[in-house]
Amino acid sequence: MNLGTLSAGKLVAAAVFVGAAVLEVAGDALIRKGMRGSGAALIAVGFAVLGSYGVVVNLLEIDFSRLLGAYVGVFAVVSVAMGRLVFQDAVPTSTWIGLAVILGGSLIIHLGRGG
């Protein structure tokens, strides 16, 4: 896909999806760290960050089911990337295959037309 052919609206939507996914994954990571010994304050910050993802993702005026169906693919990519890059998780082949399945489903939901 040639990036020059993407409309500004699609780039904004992609940026919103990525921003929301980063907030969701980071919020969950903060809660996880807080629950594993860093304390209640970090859990509270994690709640705020995690909750803010819902505000960000809903900035897009897309039908709710299509919105979250498409978002799930972006969330899955950011989640696996965060696990690998931040937490140094060893990502097994089965996870990469599952990620491909999720992305395929996300594309079907987003690009499909209701009838």
- Nearest-angstrom CA–CA distance, 23 and 30: 10
* pTM of full prediction above 0.85: no
Of the pLDDT bands very low, low, confident and very high (cuts 50, 70, 90), residue 2 is very low
Taking a C-beta distance cutoff of 8 angstroms, is the pair 76, 68 a contact? no
Taking a C-beta distance cutoff of 8 angstroms, is the pair 76, 99 a contact? yes
Q: What is the largest CA-CA distance in the chain?
A: 51
User: Looking at residue 60, what is its pLDDT?
Assistant: 87
The H-assigned helical ranges of 38-63 are 40-57
Taking a C-beta distance cutoff of 8 angstroms, is the pair 13, 60 a contact? yes
- Nearest-angstrom CA–CA distance, 34 and 40: 6
User: Looking at residue 41, what is its pLDDT?
Assistant: 94
